């Protein structure tokens, strides 16, 4: 759906901060929820090549379908996008497919906030997301399943069901994921998470599809060796090696996720995606070292969860406080977008020992009778 959209838009510079696709995802999701038309020039300015890729195009089209939006510039390589949201009417039954190995988890990032709120009780919305499940430069579906969604359930009470129909490994994609997303009729609660507690268990899976099982074993063994060398007790390490059948995975590839579960219910992750140019030992080592790096800061969320939760605490009602490690560019960008779009107030307290306290006074978002900013 297209229209000429020109005046009184919220202008968001697509080149600031990390200057990538996250600006699009967060801005479009908040535009849909808040009924604020937006204009984004300099789309993915800091990426080579700049402009929309197929997965970004698919994500915006998906968000537009959720809120009956009018759009301009939503096509491959476009460097300027406008998005005018309409009314969100839930539940939705939708499918998104970029036709590439574009990440299913990034499609979920742009659509999930749009589906969470309803002015009256409704059945869950249903999403089928196609593309890459274990892709580079994006959270693997395993991370979403074992780290992100448990956080959403524990702290926001959201029981989002996720079923991996078929894995699609880098570089071919071809995967499919089904999500059932319940909606709320009230605001999200604030989150207070400042005490991680001791690590009680380290779990994980090294997976391959279309490749020999020994490659998964080599990734797992390398990850275990790094953890043991760092002083982690073998008694708390539970990392499995898995090989998928042809029916369970498209193409050939692999990946590994390792995650620590703590006494206070925190989940800290580390992951890596297999590529032809890298040995399995390097992939396993990278995932374990990422986990250890995130544990050293004594934060309650890791560097990947850190930026994904910003949009939700901005929408929540009340004061959220979360302890994490050093801020990533993605998190700084997410905060800027949230402040500009919602009016939520963030405060950052950096500690010399390396951790950061993120505080946010959220706006207490709930759906209201439909209103779109005039243009």
| Same structural domain, 85 and 183 | yes
pLDDT tens, residue by residue, 178-217: 999 999 999 999 999 999 999 999 999 999 999 999 999 9
Whether 281 is covered by a domain: the verdict is yes
List the domain range (segments joined by +) for residue 117. Answer: 10-193+302-363
Q: Let me know whether 280 and 331 are in one domain.
A: no
CATH number at residue 291: 3.30.360.20
CATH of the domain at 78: 3.65.10.20
- Sheet with 161-168, strands from edge to edge, namely 93-96, 125-131, 175-181, 161-168, 249-250
Q: Are residues 238 and 215 both part of a single domain?
A: yes
Q: 30-63 burial, b for 16+ CB within 10 Å, e for fewer?
A: bbbbbbbbbbbebbbbeeeebbbbbbbbbbbbbb
Q: Is there a binding annotation on residue 200?
A: no
* Residue 329 near residue 157, CB atoms below 8 Å: no
In a domain, 371, yes or no: no
**Residue 307, annotated as binding a ligand:** yes
Is residue 220 domain-shared with residue 351, that is, in the same domain?
no
At residue 312, the 3 state secondary structure works out as: helix
Within a domain: residue 375?
no
- Per DSSP, the three-state class of 153 is helix
Is 349 assigned a ligand-binding role in the annotation? no
Judge whether 75 lies within some domain.
yes
Is 327 contained in some domain?
Answer: yes
| Count of structural domains, the chain | 2
Do both 123 and 162 map to the same domain? yes
The whole-number pLDDT of residue 369 equals 59
179 lies in the same domain as 291: no
Q: Write down which residue in 296, 311, 329 finishes a domain.
A: 296
Q: Is residue 20 in some structural domain?
A: yes
Residue 229 and residue 273 in one domain: yes
Same domain, residue pair 48 and 84: yes
Could you give the CA distance from residue 269 to residue 359 in angstroms, rounded to a whole number?
22
Same domain (yes/no): 170, 276: no
Q: Which of 296, 319, 343 is the last residue of a domain?
A: 296
Q: Which two tokens stand for residue 306?
A: 């850190």
Domain shared by 205 and 145, yes or no: no
290-310 per-position pLDDT tens digit: 999 999 999 999 999 999 999
Average pLDDT of adjacent 10-residue blocks, the chain of 375 residues: 55 88 95 96 90 94 97 95 96 94 93 95 96 91 97 97 93 92 96 96 96 97 98 97 92 94 97 93 98 95 96 98 96 96 97 92 85 44
pLDDT digits (tens, 9 = 90+) for 59-77: 999 999 999 999 999 999 9
97 assigned binding-site residue: no
Q: Is residue 243 part of a domain?
A: yes
For the packed helices 21-34 and 104-111, what is the interaxial angle rounded to 10 degrees?
30
Does the annotation place 155 within a ligand binding site? no
Residue partners of 302: CB distance under 8 A and separation at least 6:
147, 268, 269, 270, 291, 294, 324, 325
Is residue 128 assigned to a domain? yes
User: Which residues participate in catalysis according to the annotation?
Assistant: 330
140 is annotated as contributing to ligand binding: no
Domain boundary among 296, 326, 341: 296
Indicate whether 282 and 310 sit together in one domain. Answer: no
Indicate whether 322 and 187 sit together in one domain: yes
């Amino acid at each position: 759906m297209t229209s000429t959209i020109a005046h009184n838009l919220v202008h968001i510079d697509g080149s600031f901060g990390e200057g990538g696709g996250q600006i699009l995802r967060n801005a479009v999701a908040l535009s849909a929820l808040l009924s604020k038309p937006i204009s984004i020039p300099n789309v993915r300015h800091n990426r080579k090549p700049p402009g929309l890729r197929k997965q970004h195009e698919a994500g915006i089209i998906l968000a537009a379908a959720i809120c009956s939006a009018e759009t301009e510039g939503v096509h491959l390589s476009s460097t300027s996008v406008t998005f005018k949201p309409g009314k969100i009417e839930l539940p939705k039954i939708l499918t998104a497919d970029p036709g590439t190995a574009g990440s299913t988890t990034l499609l979920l990032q742009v659509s999930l906030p749009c589906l969470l709120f309803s002015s009256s009780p409704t059945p869950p919305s249903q999403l089928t997301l196609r593309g890459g499940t274990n892709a580079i430069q994006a959270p693997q579906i395993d991370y979403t399943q074992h780290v992100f969604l448990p956080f959403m359930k524990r702290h926001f009470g959201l029981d989002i069901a996720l079923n991996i129909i078929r894995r699609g490994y880098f570089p071919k994609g071809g995967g499919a994921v089904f999500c059932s997303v319940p909606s709320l009729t009230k605001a999200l609660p604030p989150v207070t998470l400042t005490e991680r507690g001791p690590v009680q268990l380290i779990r994980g899976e090294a997976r391959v599809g279309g490749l020999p099982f020994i490659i998964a074993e080599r990734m797992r063994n390398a990850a275990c060796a790094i953890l043991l060398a760092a002083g982690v007790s073998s008694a708390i390490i539970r990392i499995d090696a898995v090989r998928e059948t042809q029916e369970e995975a498209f193409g050939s590839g692999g990946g590994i996720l390792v995650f620590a579960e703590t006494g206070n219910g925190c989940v800290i992750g580390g992951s890596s995606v297999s590529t032809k140019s890298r040995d399995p030992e390097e992939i396993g080592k990278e995932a374990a070292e990422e986990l250890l790096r995130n544990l050293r800061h004594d934060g309650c969320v890791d560097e990947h969860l850190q930026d994904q939760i910003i949009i939700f605490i901005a929408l929540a009602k009340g004061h959220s406080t979360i302890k994490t490690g050093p801020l990533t560019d993605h998190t700084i960008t997410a905060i800027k977008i949230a402040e500009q779009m919602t009016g939520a107030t963030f405060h950052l307290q950096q500690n010399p020992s390396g951790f950061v306290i993120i505080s946010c006074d959220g706006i207490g978002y709930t759906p209201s009778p439909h209103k779109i900013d005039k243009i």
